[in-house]
Amino acid sequence: MKVTKRLGARLGLGLGLLLAAGPAAASWGMNLTRGVTSLSQSVYDLHMLVLWICVVIGTVVFGLILWSVIHHRKSRGVTAAQFHHSTAVEIAWTVVPMLILIAMAIPATRVLVAMHDTGDADVTIKVTGYQWMWEYEYIDEDIQFFSRLDRESDRVRQLRSGLDPREVENYLLNVDKPLVVPVNQKIRFLLTANDVIHSFWVPDLGWKRDAIPGFINEAWAEIQEPGIYRGQCAELCGRDHAFMPIVVIAKSQEDYEAWIAEQRAEANGVPEVAAEEAPVEEAVAADMDMDDLMQRGEDVYGAQCAACHQADGRGNPPMFPTLAGSDFVVGPAEDVIDIVLNGQGAMPPLGGVLDDADVASVVTYIRNAFGNETGDVVQPADVQAAR
Amino acid sequence: MTAATHDEHHAGPPSSFLDRWLFTTNHKDIGTLYLLFALLMFFVGGAMAMVIRAELFQPGMQLVDPYFFNQMTTMHALVMIFGAVMPAFVGLANWMIPIQIGAPDMALPRMNNWSFWILPFAFAIMLATFLMPGGALAGGWTMYPPLMLQHGMAFPFAIFAIHLLGISSIMGAINVVATILNMRAPGMTLMKMPLFVWTWLITAYLIIAVMPVLAGAITMLLTDQYFGTSFFSAAGGGDPVMYQHIFWFFGHPEVYIMILPAFGIVSAIIPTFARKPLFGYSSMVYAVASIAFLSFIVWAHHMFTVGMPLAGELFFMYATMLIAVPTGVKVFNWIATMWRGAMTFETPMLFAIGFVILFTIGGLSGIMLAIAPADYQYHDTYFVVAHFHYVLVTGAVFSLFAAAYYWLPKWTGHMYDERLGKWHFWLSVITVNVLFFPQHFLGLAGMPRRIPDYAVQFTEFNMISSIGGFAFGLSQLIFVWVVIKCIRGGEKATDQVWEGARGLEWTLSSPPPYHSFTTPPKIESSAGLEGSPR
Ligand SMILES: [Cu+2]
């Protein structure tokens, strides 16, 4: 009911705006972003130049048609002229469009050349696309992590979840761990993929570039303002293509360096500075009983595994193996833990995404669901040992 | 007695249903089969579009699993391209080319039968993949590896079906070329042919040139999956991007295969209802030929974001922009044809004018997409979706409606219901813009294509678009009703049908005799041909 009402109001407004003052509805997002890099601004200027040229051409062409339709109609008693050729006119409407095209090609070439200049970078980040998450590696900093759709969006986006996306902040455009970069530094992105082709797109950076398995693409950005910039995968990459967003946080140089130090410390095993997650970690480090493991395992499975292996574990062979009745799944627990932590083939490594209790739960779950009946449990400690 | 039976045999269609339709070698019957099949597929593909628009009506996943959504987008495209638009144009070619060039039938009538009857089987296989384990293809109609290699059983079956469709199209095209080059009435030189015949001649060459390329690309996919090759796998020394180059070497000319015959149709209709000869006949022919040539050297503009060298991107950008010139020439010629005519606005003319305006919108957004650095933003967004639907729906499909209304009286011998036809036009033209125009905004604002769910800031335009979509879909039922009504009866059509119509098809009775021109008509120096004064 609420939705319909809101729709009705917005629809009337929308159609009105469409007819009258299109550009005024900026809050709806109708136009390309100016973005926050020098490249994105030149792309925006180029876009507006070509758009206006097209609008002018369109107006002239449609104006002529309208004039003709109004004035040159039989019902006005006109007799049809019988001219059917004019070399001069034909030459004119071949040459004039050529000149207009050249006028567009010159600035376009300039921007394209600038985009291809990936040299002299201050920071180099390798971006790897997975089904369905991104991995970021800071080449000179020895920092690496995965970034995937945040839990809240992920819960709401399940089929017929009954939850309202409008209640979620940045629905589908939020991640568990964003990419952090410094402002006013030339950042070089090296893009590749692990499984299928993805495409890295943050509109505010001014471009998208495909991430192709086995190949490395390059692109660059120099962000001018600190802020949070959101984007998503732009190349169809399978079932959850819509659910692998990108969040880039641009920080001042000091904040960026502090973040780098924090990441290093974390990697070296020093307790996390961010305290809010700590209690949760503590609570689950202890042994868990079968019911808890199964319950939590089902949640984790739904969020992380069901996309490929299906909710009922039948998978989608040959790419995504069947788990139900699989000898591997009910075989040695260490092997199963290993593949969950480190990945294999199309299976992404989840060690960076799931904590010990998550892994223990999900392994326990798949070994005791879909008709698999090992009856044994895997504890967080086992996972800890396997890491 | 023998002579009498012989005459009878030539006079009308066979009386048995199977003989008439399954074993037919008659160009008009085969044309009818193609057109009816295309109409059916238009609704099958349209139903998939309705599922897509229903899921996108609001954010969140309400109706279908994301994987099924991907099957819908993929199959919608394959069905519409290979099942609706292409067969519809082939149907028109079958019906109209022999009549327009003064021939008794197509040059290769038995092959004609075969090229049609492959289609229902190919589509039965293609649609049956929905019932196979893993479902139908879901990696996009472009079938990019490695994603394409993640399918289950649907993969080999769909490739087999596409091979069949390719064979069917190639045979149809060979038939068109053979007919046009060999069976023109004496006196009809190439430069006196109606533009619909010209555009189809060039289209047929495009089909013959590129369908084998598609066949090659998908066969390489097949061997990569089942026979251990690695054409497109980096791990084995191959290159996934090579597939895209091969595919789009087919794919771009394919776009023109779906639009050049539309140019021919509109070039026939506008002069008729403007009561004025087509402006710049020869420049129209040259424009179509240059568009066809350029279509072979612009393919990589579909893949600016794969990371080509600068020189490559510049070449494809410039070449693509160049297409605007001959396309512009065509649009200007149509306007010049309307200029100072004495126009009336029957349904075919309405659809033709709708075509010129809305196709031009698609052409203008095409120029924007040609600008490579800006395409880095537009690529794979709803801006592209809006662009190619303006070209293919308000372009190709509108021209098909225009053609159907224009020639229905000739085909059936009855006038269609003009009032219903106008309803069909006005509802279509309004709803199609409600459907596709907001998609430009969605794309620019950052919504990628091929996604079943989206961030909430895209909600409003998606709702508007979906409402437009449902209304556009429903409006098409009017067309079905018009066609049924027109076949069943209605005001008797004259041979001339339209006051301003010129060309050989209007010299035959309505409906034309079963075998079109049993004796070749004499072509007067300028009788009823495009580009020449009446
Ligand atoms: Cu992706």
Domain CATH number, residue A320: 1.10.760.10
Task: Write the DSSP assignment of B236-274 as a string of letters.
Answer: GT--HHHHHHHHHHHHHHHHHHTTHHHHHHHHHHHHHHH
Number of domains into which chain A is organized = 3
Interior/surface letters B291-324, b for 16+ CB within 10 angstroms, e for the rest? bbebbeebbbbbbbbbbbeeeebbebbbbbbbbb
Is A272 found in the same domain as A128?
yes
Does residue B337 register a pLDDT over 60? yes
Chosen domain end from A229, A252, A277? A277
Q: Tell me whether A210 touches chain B (CB under 8 Å).
A: yes
Domain assignment of residue A311, given as a range: 290-386
CA angle A79, A85, A90 (to 5 degrees): 130
Does residue A129 register a pLDDT over 60? yes
Look up residue B502 and give its two tokens: 């010129």
Q: What is the mean pLDDT of chain B?
A: 92
What pLDDT, on the 0 to 100 scale, is given for residue B6? 42
Does residue B24 register a pLDDT over 80? yes
What pLDDT, on the 0 to 100 scale, is given for residue A330? 86
User: What is the dihedral sign for C-alpha A148, A151, A152, A153?
Assistant: positive
Beta strand extents in A142-223 (DSSP E only):
143-147, 179-182, 187-193, 198-202, 207-211, 217-221
**Is B147 in contact with A238 (Cβ distance < 8 A)?**
yes
What pLDDT, on the 0 to 100 scale, is given for residue A30? 87
> Range with the lowest mean pLDDT among A174-183, A334-343, A345-354?
A345-354
In a domain, A91, yes or no: yes
Is A193 found in the same domain as A167?
yes
Model confidence over B358-373: pLDDT tens digits? 999 999 999 999 999 9
Is A145 found in the same domain as A253?
yes
Q: Which of A51, A89, A93 is most worth mutating to test chain B (most B CB atoms within 10 A of its CB)?
A: A93
What pLDDT, on the 0 to 100 scale, is given for residue A248? 96
Is A190 found in the same domain as A64?
no
What pLDDT, on the 0 to 100 scale, is given for residue A28? 58
Is A213 found in the same domain as A143?
yes
Is A271 found in the same domain as A134?
yes
Among this protein's residues, is B376 annotated catalytic? no
In a domain, A9, yes or no: no
In a domain, A335, yes or no: yes
What pLDDT, on the 0 to 100 scale, is given for residue B532? 39
User: What is the dihedral sign for C-alpha A56, A57, A60, A66?
Assistant: negative
**Is B324 in contact with A42 (Cβ distance < 8 A)?**
no
Instruction: Give the residue with greater pLDDT, B223 vs A3.
Output: B223
**Is A201 in contact with B448 (Cβ distance < 8 A)?**
yes
Chosen domain end from A251, A277, A303? A277
Is the preceding omega at residue A23 within 30 degrees of 0, hence cis? no
B157 vs B128: CA distance, rounded Å: 9
Q: How many residues are recorded in chain A?
A: 387
Look-up: residue for tokens 């209790």? A357
Chain B residues lying within 8 Å of A231, measured CB to CB? 446
- B63 pLDDT tier (thresholds 50, 70, 90): very high
**What is the distance in A from the centroid of ligand 1 to the CA of A225?**
27
Chain centre to alpha carbon of residue B14: 31
In a domain, A231, yes or no: yes
Is A244 found in the same domain as A176?
yes
In a domain, A39, yes or no: yes
Ranges of H-type helices in B84-189: 86-101, 109-128, 154-182
What pLDDT, on the 0 to 100 scale, is given for residue B520? 83
In a domain, A135, yes or no: yes
- Tell me the three state secondary structure of residue A116: coil
User: Which amino acid, B196?
Assistant: F
Is A153 found in the same domain as A98?
no
Is A127 found in the same domain as A214?
yes
B169 vs B175: CA distance, rounded Å: 10
**Is A203 in contact with B325 (Cβ distance < 8 A)?**
no
- B180 pLDDT tier (thresholds 50, 70, 90): very high
CB-CB: which of B356, B455, B460 is closest to A172?
B455
- Tell me the three state secondary structure of residue B343: strand
Look up residue B298 and give its two tokens: 């612009």
Among this protein's residues, is B245 annotated catalytic? no
Look-up: residue for tokens 């800031």? B457
B339 vs B356: CA distance, rounded Å: 14
Model confidence over B204-255: pLDDT tens digits? 999 999 999 999 999 999 999 999 999 999 888 899 999 999 999 999 999 9
Among this protein's residues, is B6 annotated catalytic? no
Q: Pick the catalytic residue from B115, B327, B399, B431.
A: B327
In a domain, A355, yes or no: yes
Model confidence over B403-460: pLDDT tens digits? 999 999 999 999 999 999 999 999 999 999 999 999 999 999 999 999 999 999 999 9
Q: Pick the catalytic residue from B29, B254, B375, B530.
A: B254
Q: Pick the catalytic residue from B151, B192, B252, B424.
A: B252
What share of chain A has pLDDT > 70, as a percent?
Answer: 86
**What is the distance in A from the centroid of ligand 1 to the CA of B230?**
22
Residues A47 and B244 sit within 8 Å (Cβ to Cβ): no
Question: Of A225, A222, A192, A247, whose CA–CA distance to A117 is shortest?
Answer: A222
Q: E strand or H helix at A248, and its extent? A: strand A245-251
Is A260 found in the same domain as A131?
yes
* CATH at A246: 2.60.40.420
- A319 pLDDT tier (thresholds 50, 70, 90): low
Is A203 found in the same domain as A152?
yes
Alpha carbon distance, N-terminus to C-terminus of chain B: 45
Q: Tell me whether A42 touches chain B (CB under 8 Å).
A: yes
Among this protein's residues, is B168 annotated catalytic? yes
Among this protein's residues, is B254 annotated catalytic? yes
Give me the torsion for CA of B286, B290, B291, B296, rounded to 10°: 150
Is A235 found in the same domain as A148?
yes
In a domain, A3, yes or no: no
**Is A82 in contact with B338 (Cβ distance < 8 A)?**
no
Among this protein's residues, is B65 annotated catalytic? no
What pLDDT, on the 0 to 100 scale, is given for residue B11? 60
Alpha carbon distance, N-terminus to C-terminus of chain A: 51
User: Which amino acid, A242?
Assistant: A
**Is A196 in contact with B146 (Cβ distance < 8 A)?**
yes
Chosen domain end from A277, A300, A322? A277
Residues B50 and B473 sit within 8 Å (Cβ to Cβ): yes
- A140 pLDDT tier (thresholds 50, 70, 90): confident
Among this protein's residues, is B267 annotated catalytic? yes
ipTM over 0.85: yes
Chain centre to alpha carbon of residue B182: 25
Residues A226 and A185 sit within 8 Å (Cβ to Cβ): no
Nearest CA to CA, how far is A36 from chain B (Å)? 14
Instruction: Give the residue with greater pLDDT, A227 vs B13.
Output: A227
Does residue A3 register a pLDDT over 50? no
Instruction: Give the residue with greater pLDDT, B533 vs B442.
Output: B442
Model confidence over B65-107: pLDDT tens digits? 999 999 999 999 999 999 999 999 999 999 999 999 999 999 9
